[in-house]
Structure 1
Amino acid sequence: MAAQRVAKLPPLAVGGSDMSPRAMKGYEGLTGPSYQLVSTGSKYSLPSPGVLQPYVDTRSGALDAWPAHAAGQTTSSTALVPHGSTSVKSYSRKPLVKEEDTGKGVPKPKFLDQLENFLKKELRALGCPDSGPSELRLQAHREVFEYLIEDFKTYKPLLSSIKNEYETMLAHLRQQIRDLEPLKSMLVTVSEQCDQKILKIREQEKQEMVDLRRENTGLYRKIMGMSEQQQNLQAQVNKLREELSEQYLRYRDECDARKLLVSDINDLRYQAEDLQKAASAGSVGDPQDDPIMMRVALKQARVDLKKMSEELIRMKADYGDVVPRRDFEMLEAKHNALLETEGVLRDQFSKLQQEHDTLLEVHKQVLQQRDEFYTQQETLRRSATPRPDWDKCGDVVDGGAERWAELTKETTSDQKMDALLQELQTMKDAASDKDIPEFFEGRGFKPDVPAYLRYEGQVRNRKLAKRDLAIVIKDVWREKAAHDAGKAKPTKLENYLLMYLEKRFNLEPLVAEWGYNIHDACTRFHQSENSINLFFSILKGETDEGIYHQQIDLLSRLLSHFAQKDVSLGTQGMIPKEEFSAGIAEFFPLKEPESIQVLVQAAEDELDTQGGPIPFKLLFTEDDEGRTGPFINRLRDQTKSEREAYVDDIQAALGDVSDVVVEDVRKAFLTADPEIDQPEIDMFLGRAFGVDKDKLEKAKSTHTTKVLQRLRTGNIHRVGKKP
C-alpha cells in the first residue's frame, strides 16, 4: 500500500534535476529544503530484506526511509505529501526518528551496505591486493558500478556515459602503452649501442691520455728545471748589482777626491804664478804682466774652455756613429765585390748539387750491385769452400742416415755441428742413464703434490731425451695458447699440463707416466737449456708465466719493426749494419749504447756478416728443439739483467724495512720509475702481493724479501728512463 502511494507522486525536483522515488533509495540528501515530511498517522510494514537484495530488486517506487530502519523506536510514520493542492510543488520533511538517535554510529543505507559487502567479498575471493593498481580490483569495482547504474534508472544514461568515457580513455592509454613498448626496446638497444661506442672511444683515447700525461710530466720537469735556472740567474744578477753599486760608490768617491786634489793643485799653481808675475811686474813694469789683467784673461779662458768642452761633447754625441765618407765608399765597393762573388758561388753550388744528386743515384745503383755481388760471392764461397762430408755422421748417431738427414735438412754447417754435438751428448746421457731406475714411485694424492704427479703405484721411466722434451714443451705451449685465447685469466701451467696429458692419453697410467717423465727430464736438462729452464720454473710456480708470453711478444714486435724498416729502406731483407743498430735503438729507447753494440755484435757473429748487410729474418729462427741463436739469447739475458736492476732500484727505494704495505711499494715504484702510469703500477703490485689488482686494498702487510722475490720472478719492466 505504501509502495503504491509513493509511486503515484510526481517526480521530485532536487537541485534542478528529476529524481524518481526509486532513485531516492539510499539517498542521503533528503534533508534538503525542497522536501517536507508529513506524518500520515498510518503505519505500514517495510518490505522484507529478501525483496530488497541488491541487483535483484527491480520494482520502482519503494522508498528506503533511512535511517529509520535502524534507529530503534519510531515516533510516527512519515510520508511525502503535498501542501494545499494535489499539485505537489514543495515538500516538507520531518524526521522519522528522534534527533538523539541520529548521532555517531548511525549505520549506512542497506543498499550501500550490501554493495560494499559484495565488493569486499569479491575482492577477497579474487585475492586482490589491498592497495595499488590491479586489473582484478578494477574489474570488481567495474561490476559494482554496473549494478549501481542498473539500479539508478534515472541517472543511468549519465553514469553510463561517464563509465564509457573512462573505459575509452583506459583503452586509449593501453593502446599507447602497447605502441610505446617497441620504442622502449629500441631505446634500450640504442642506449647499449651508445655505451659501446663510448667505451670504444675511451679505449682509443686511453693511450693518447697516457702519452699526454707522460708528456705533461716531462714538460713539468723541464719547467721546474728552467725555474731553478732562472732563480739562480736572478740571484747572480742581484749579486752583480750589489757589487756594481759598491764599485760605483768607490769610483765616485775616488773621482770626487781627485777633482778636489786637482783643484787644490791648480789653485796653488795659480798662486805661485801670480806671485812670480807680481814680482816680475814690480821689477820690469810691463803692463802686459798686470796680475789683474792676467786674472781676467784666465777667467775668460776658462769660460771659453768650458764652451769648447761642451761643444766637443755635443759633436761626439752627434757624430760618434758617423763613418767618414772615404771609409764608406771603400766598404761599399767591397760589398759590391762580395755580392758578385756570392752570385758566382751560388751558380757553382747549384751545379755541384746537381752533380751530387747524380752521384747519389749512381751510388745507390752501385750499392745494389754490391749487395747482389756479395750474395753471389757468399754463394760461390759456400760452394767453392771444401766442405766436410756430413753424411758420415749418419753412421754414428742413433737412427742412422735417415734420421741424420732429417735432423740436418736445410741447416748450416754450424747448426749441423750443434746437432752432432747434441746427439753425442744424448748418447753420453743414455750411457750414463743405465744406472737410472726403470720405474718411478708414485707420490700419492696429497695436496702438496702437483696435479700432474698425483698417482699411486709404479710408473715406467721412458728416459726422455732433450730433443723429445723440447718437442713436447713446444707442443704444450702451442696448445695452451689456443686454450687460453679469449680468456681473462690464463690457466695455471701445472693444471693445464694435466689437461693436456689427459687429452692426449685417455688412460690414467699413461697420463701419470708422461707426467713423471716430463718432470724427470726437466729436472735433468733445465740447467743446460734456457727454454726448458723457463718452462720448468713456470711449472713449479717459481716464475710468472707472463715472462714467457712477454718474450714471445717482444720477439714478434721486434721482427715486425725490422720488417717495416726493411720495407721503408727497400733493402729486400738485407739491412745495413748502421740501420740495424739504429733500428734496435729505436725499438729499445731505454737501452744503453753498450748493450745495443753487444746485440749488433751477436747478430754479426751468428750470421758471419763481418760488417756487411744483416739478413735479419735468420736471427728469429729456431731449430726443432726450440734453441735460438746468440742474438736472441743475448737479448733475453739483457732483459733479465734489466729486470734485476729494476728490482734493485725498488729495493733501494724501500730501504731497510722488514714488512711493507701496498702504499710503500707504490711509492718505491714511483721513485725508481717516475714515468710509470697507474695501470702498470696496479698490475705490478698485484704480482708483488699475490692478489688481483682489483683487490689491492685488501692486501695485507708482507715481508720485504718475499715481495722482492715475487717481483724478480714476475713480468715487470721499466716504463720510463732511469732518473
Structure 2
Amino acid sequence: MQEKTTRTDEETCVLKHFYNEDLYNDLDENEIDNTTLRYTLLQCRRQLLMWIKILVETEYAYTRVELRDDFDKLKVETNNLKIATILLNAKFQELLDNCKCLIDQTTEILADRNNYYSEWESNRNILTPRPDWDKCFHMVPNWKTLSIDKTSEQLVDIIINEIVHGNTTQNNNEYFSMMTRDKNELHEKNMFFKQLCMNPGIEEKFIKNRYMRRRITGLLIKDIWSNKLFNENHSENKANIKLTDYVFDYLTEKFCSKEIAIEIGYNIKDACNRYRNSYEINLFWQILTGQMEENVYHYEMKEFARILQYLIKL
C-alpha cells in the first residue's frame, strides 16, 4: 500500500512539471532547475518502459489465446480420446485375464498329459498281456531255433515273414537230392512220389531248387485243380481221377518234358513243406500225400459256390 502511494506521488510530481507551461516560458527559463528536469526525464523513461512491458505482455498473451470454437472441438475430441482409452484399457485388461487363464489351463493340461503318459508307460510295461509264443511251434518250422534271444517285435517279424514268404531258410541248398525207390509205403502206393523216385542202381542225380514263392505255388495248385476238374467233366466215362495219379501227368503235359516235370515235382514238395501254414497249399499237400480224402476239397468248393450264389441273389 505504501509503495502504491509513493508511486502516485511521483506521477503527480512528474505531471506537475511536465504539463506546467510556466516551466517552459522563456522568461522563466533560468529559473528551471536541472535536477527537476533530470528527475522528470527519468520518470518519463520509467513510464515508457512500463508501457512497453505491458504491450509486450499483452501481445504475448494474445498469441496464446485460442478461439472458443476450436477450444470446444479440442475439448470434445479430448473427452472422446479419454473414453476410448478407458475402453481400450478395459479390453486389454480383459484379454490379459483371459491370457493368464489360458496359460494356467495349458499348464494344467500339460501336467495331466505328462501324468497320463507316465501312467500309460507304467501300465504298458506291467499290464500288457504277453503272447504265448509256444503256439507257433507247430506252425513255423525250427521255431525254437528262430526264437532264441529274440524280442517280441523280432518274433512278430519272423511270423510275418513266414506268412508272406514262408520259411525260406529251411532249405537254402541249390539242388535237391533225388529220392530212391525203397520199401517206403508212401513211395510204393503214391504214384506221384513213385514217379519222382529213381532206381537204386542208377547214378544219383541232382534237381535244381527254384525257390518257389507262395504266390507261384498257389497259382500252380489252382491250375492243377482246374485242369483236373475240366478233364474229369469232359472225359467219356466221367470217371474221377485221383490227384496222386494226375499231378505228374499234368506237369509232364504242361512243360512238355518228363525231366522238367520231375524238377517241378520236387519244388512243389519243398514249397508245400515251407508254406504249410497256408490253408490251400496245406490242403493240397495233405490230399496229395494221402493224409486227407479228396472229397474234402470238393465239398468245400461246393459249399463256397453255394454261399457265393446266395450272396449274389441278395
TM-score normalised by L of structure 1? 0.18
The higher radius of gyration belongs to 2
